[in-house]
Chains A and B, each alone.
Chain A
Amino acid sequence: SQQGEEDPQALSIQEGENATMNCSYKTSINNLQWYRQNSGRGLVHLILIRSNEREKHSGRLRVTLDTSKKSSSLLITASRAADTASYFCATDRTSYGKLTFGQGTILTVHP
Chain B
Amino acid sequence: KAGVTQTPRYLIKTRGQQVTLSCSPISGHRSVSWYQQTPGQGLQFLFEYFSETQRNKGNFPGRFSGRQFSNSRSEMNVSTLELGDSALYLCASETGNTGELFFGEGSRLTVL
Contacts and interface: CB of A to CB of B under 8 A. Distances in A.
Interface string B78-110: 000000000010101010001111111110100
Nearest first, the 7 A-B pairs at minimum CB distance are: A97-B48, A97-B33, A42-B103, A101-B43, A96-B56, A43-B103, A96-B55
A92 B99 contact: yes
Interface residues of A, number: 26
Given A42-B90, A98-B45, A98-B56, 5 more contacts: A41-B105, A41-B106, A45-B102, A90-B43, A96-B48
Main secondary structure of the interface of B (DSSP, over half): strand
Interface string A37-48: 000111111001
Contacts of A98: 33, 45, 48, 56, 58
Given A42-B106, A98-B56, A31 B43 contact: no
Nearest to A6: B42
A96 B50 contact: yes
B42 A40 contact: no
A42 B4 contact: yes
A104 B42 contact: yes
Contacts of A44: 103
